[in-house]
Structure 1
Amino acid sequence: MNYNSTRNAALQVTAAQAIAQGISEEGGLFVPQSFPKADLNDMLGLDYIGRAEYVLSRFLTDFTPEEIKACAGSAYGDGKFDDNTPAPVVSLDKHGENKHILELWHGPTCAFKDMALQILPHLLTRSLKKTADGKTAVILVATSGDTGKAALEGFKDVAGTEMIVFYPENGVSPMQKRQMNTQEGENVCVCAIHGNFDDAQTGVKKIFTDPALKAEFAQHNKMFSSANSINWGRLLPQIVYYFSAYLDLVNAKKIKMGDAINVVVPTGNFGNILASYYAKRMGLPVHKFICASNSNNVLTDFIRTGTYDKKRAFYTTISPSMDILVSSNLERLLYHLCGEDTEKLTGWMNALQSGGAYTVDAATADAVRALFYGGCCDDKETVEVIRNTFEKDGYLCDTHTAVAVGVYEQYLKETGDNTPAVIASTASPYKFPDSVLDAFDCEKPADPFAEAELLAKLSNTKIPAPITALRTKPVRFENTCAAADMADFVRETVRV
């Protein structure tokens, strides 16, 4: 299995090269040349680690079976996840609905990013040994909230790596900010930027594609890499949990083997929902991908019109991990749907960079609509969904999961399609206690930990241990910089 760049048809790299490099030289993203078929029956009796080994082995053909087994076991075993169950499914079907919540937040940072970022350090360090001649990887991360903490936790004190996380100063929740700024590890650093997530993401991509800067770091035996979902090693592990959810539903007799499901994902950078599309390409029977956005509904408009236009108001919402106007992983989907035409795709991406918008051709737009449904919820609707879901189903959603539930309800009303739905729950509600409490019409304390305690009392749910532990952790990082100064901050921090 080799990998191509979305913007260079002639380029071909191994899995280890794709993971070590993160992004192609010309700014394209690495994609697999083909999609191996998965046999669902072969995975049915396996635990999560076994399912991960099965999927990863199909794509990481330059890794030995022993290496893959070690990576999966280290990531998903040893008590890293609650009850040693990384991705449980909770069925909300007592009212006759085919609605199932895939909980992806039982790891050390209480967000779905743990599912990939607990294994990426193991994949990356092995990839560096195979391809990078002992270079130190300088891992740069732009985060809208959850990726940052999960990456920091995954890479803390990992030999041969240094990490800098950039986040929008006023674009994450207080709990997310505290998670990042109290992070332990001698090889990690955190910096807030004056701007939004797109500014942070653009700054990181600019560093990755600056030949002079890369040469400067190479002189000191250092190379840039990424832990964002632009890195294939971040995206690949996310395919696993869609297979796992399906097989768990089969084992629970909620569906029969071969039945189709719908997949509903609260979407920002498009990586999580793209992973479910890749699962379909491998043989998972998915009928429709329901792409749920908040008020930053650039993806909703694109799916419906074929025009991607980031020239619009940017909203800071109560679902901050989705506050994104440039969804990087959409590039991968368009590559597959436009016939792998790198010239056409590069034209669209250049138009987005220079003019802030592009329109795909009619055939590609039709292909997107055939697979995807796009919808959105504003903050008021999101709070209402949290309230209604708790009152009706006794289930407490975070603000991102609520967006997905809300858009799924829109889809159901509009189409009447009662295909069993797997809804990705991407974060614990205790990462956003202030906003979740709005659904309970109560007087809120000012302190986020007091808010969490009140939420636990009102909902009769338990505060995750990693959230409780934050209260006594000292703040380590209070750095800030302008988006234009990110490269200088990297130079000063890494000290080349």
Structure 2
Amino acid sequence: MELSYQSTRGKEANVTASQAILKGLAADGGLFMPCFIPRLDKTMKELSTLTYQETAYEVMKLFLNDYTEEELKGCINSAYDSKFDTEEIAPLAKADGAYYLELYHGSTIAFKDMALSILPHLMTVAAKKNQVKNKIVILTATSGDTGKAAMAGFADVEGTEIIVFYPKNGVSRVQELQMVTQKGTNTHVAAIHGNFDDAQTGVKKIFGDKEFAAQLEKKGYQLSSANSINIGRLVPQVVYYVYAYGKLLSGGEISDGERINVAVPTGNFGNILAAYLAKQMGVPIEKLICASNENKVLYDFFQSGTYDRNRDFILTSSPSMDILISSNLERLIYLSTGCDAEENAALMKELSETGSYTVTPAMKKFMEDFIGGFAGEAENQRTIKDLFDRTGYLIDTHTGVASSVYHQYKEQSKDETKTVIASTASPYKFSGSVLEALEGEKSAEDEFKIIDRLSNVSGIFIPQAVEEIRTAPVLHQTECDVDNMKETVMGFLA
């Protein structure tokens, strides 16, 4: 059976991989999913001998089946090159009995680089394949990391414009500086007066506005997305879970076929969904530990079967997870209905109209591979400090949430299965919060003085991505209300 893509809400089917990447979001508001999840055609033992780039090809060729071998390898080699500061691309560090999968060695020091380094290449190839004459406008909302990674990936890429919305006062200072200092004649960023969910909802509304799409079409533009709702973001994330298992196997940490658990700090649900897809492809993964911060909508969902975003939005020291509407969860819900697009669409309509929905017992059983947990601010700080004091290994506040939840789960379940923890950002991306965890008090110093102190305390070098923004001029100063996002888009393109 030939793999094609269909919308989780049923109105689009038989879409090619390149078309799904170009569109980003389906016309009915659904997300594109493959009509089946392919199985790996090499054994884990064979995969364990491959480089990251070779592993990427073996995984991605199965999903992106209308790309030729030459096209796909070209995209992979352009993405995973010297912009990463380690040869392995995604190294594994063993600390305190767990394996930290370091996903932050790219140019923006966060895991979003893993997919957003390749998405512009996949998209430009897709545009040529599908004879697209319009300029592609990448429109995205960010809770901090996607924005910079997308802007860096698409900066000055021919035939594209990129527009990013982020919540004013809802990201770390380093995250904000990385965005507002981004070069590139085609890059645009606006701080919205609201939170991430407001930004994401506003972007989704723009995608669903057919009249606005027609206006853009007349001006020679068409919209696409770099958010994790784009299948071109999700597929490259599957790669690093396959690679991690292979590295554990080749390093003698596990035996062939031995099952592992995976713990992921989770906001929009894309990163842990990628681990789930890796499991479905044949990677021996047992439990998927879904770690939330105090915005614990996903924890409550896995406990009760009810998804309810009607709650206070809490700003935490792990801002990339400060999310109440986890867009990628829709893909798992769709799978749990047996790919019943009508049933899924009804649940998503209920979420849109009432802010909640409840899954059936059968759907809840389908998701029993997932374990939900959450960590508050004090627990997160304790975990970061304790790990550093005992091992000298330093993690950021998002990885701290995952590490906290992993240790809670291990203690409660007595499960001794070897576990990979997705380490999603450099400690320097959230230096103020990390230093506070180590020293027990908040510093009133300037961001870069804090970064220098963190380097002195930890002995860990400051990444080039941070040094670059120390003196970079601010190039983007636009702010807007949530209701004016459409006008802001038009203003940028005028």
1:236 and 1:160 map into 2 onto residues whose CA distance is 23
Structure 2 residue identity aligned to 1:278: L
Report deviation, 1:256.
1.0
Report deviation, 1:11.
2.1
CA contact (8 A) 2:431 2:451 kept: yes
Partner of 2:71: 67
Report deviation, 1:42.
3.0
1:469 and 1:218 map into 2 onto residues whose CA distance is 37
CA contact (8 A) 1:449 1:468 kept: no
1:257 and 1:456 map into 2 onto residues whose CA distance is 39
2:104 and 2:31 map into 1 onto residues whose CA distance is 27
Q: Alpha-carbon deviations, 1:71-92, whole Å to 9, x = none?
A: 0000002x11113221000012
1:210 and 1:407 map into 2 onto residues whose CA distance is 40
Corresponding residue SS for 1:8? coil
Structure 1: 4+ residue segments shifted above 3 A = none
Structure 2 residue identity aligned to 1:295: E
TM-score of the aligned structures, taking structure 2 as reference length:
0.98
1:217 and 1:487 map into 2 onto residues whose CA distance is 11
Q: CA 1:409–1:443 in 2, change beyond 3 Å: closer, same or farther?
A: closer
1:108 and 1:272 map into 2 onto residues whose CA distance is 19
The count of corresponding residues between Structure 1 and Structure 2 is 489
Report deviation, 1:283.
0.3
Corresponding residue SS for 1:139? strand
Corresponding residue SS for 2:14? strand
Structure 1 residue identity aligned to 2:162: M
Q: CA 1:411–1:106 in 2, change beyond 3 Å: closer, same or farther?
A: same
Partner of 2:48: 44
1:310 and 1:348 map into 2 onto residues whose CA distance is 13
Structure 2: 5+ residue stretches without partners? none
Using the TM superposition, name which of 82-91 and 326-335 deviates more: 82-91
Partner of 1:381: 379
1:155-304 matched pairs, under 5 angstroms: 155-304=154-303
Partner of 1:27: 29
Partner of 2:395: 397
Corresponding residue SS for 1:256? coil
Report deviation, 1:219.
1.2
Using the TM superposition, name which of 5-14 and 259-268 deviates more: 5-14
Report deviation, 1:133.
2.4
Q: CA 1:465–1:10 in 2, change beyond 3 Å: closer, same or farther?
A: closer
Partner of 1:413: 411
1:134 and 1:147 map into 2 onto residues whose CA distance is 26
Partner of 1:488: 487
Structure 2 residue identity aligned to 1:342: A
Report deviation, 1:9.
5.9
Partner of 1:347: 346
Using the TM superposition, name which of 107-116 and 439-448 deviates more: 439-448
1:132 and 1:268 map into 2 onto residues whose CA distance is 35
1:388 and 1:430 map into 2 onto residues whose CA distance is 18
2:84 and 2:254 map into 1 onto residues whose CA distance is 26
RMSD of aligned alpha carbons: 1.0
Partner of 1:439: 437
Report deviation, 1:128.
1.2
1:83 and 1:314 map into 2 onto residues whose CA distance is 37
Structure 2 residue identity aligned to 1:493: F
Using the TM superposition, name which of 331-340 and 37-46 deviates more: 37-46
Using the TM superposition, name which of 439-448 and 53-62 deviates more: 439-448
1:287 and 1:59 map into 2 onto residues whose CA distance is 23
1:63 and 1:434 map into 2 onto residues whose CA distance is 43
CA contact (8 A) 1:5 1:12 kept: no
Report deviation, 1:443.
6.9
1:346 and 1:206 map into 2 onto residues whose CA distance is 16
1:12 and 1:356 map into 2 onto residues whose CA distance is 31
Q: Alpha-carbon deviations, 1:410-436, whole Å to 9, x = none?
A: 100110111010000000000111100
Structure 1 residue identity aligned to 2:75: C
2:394 and 2:46 map into 1 onto residues whose CA distance is 34
2:113 and 2:442 map into 1 onto residues whose CA distance is 33
CA contact (8 A) 2:297 2:309 kept: yes
Corresponding residue SS for 1:67? helix
CA contact (8 A) 1:191 1:481 kept: yes
Structure 2 residue identity aligned to 1:219: K
CA contact (8 A) 1:117 1:151 kept: yes
Structure 2 residue identity aligned to 1:74: S
Corresponding residue SS for 1:82? coil
1:449 and 1:154 map into 2 onto residues whose CA distance is 25
Structure 2 residue identity aligned to 1:242: Y
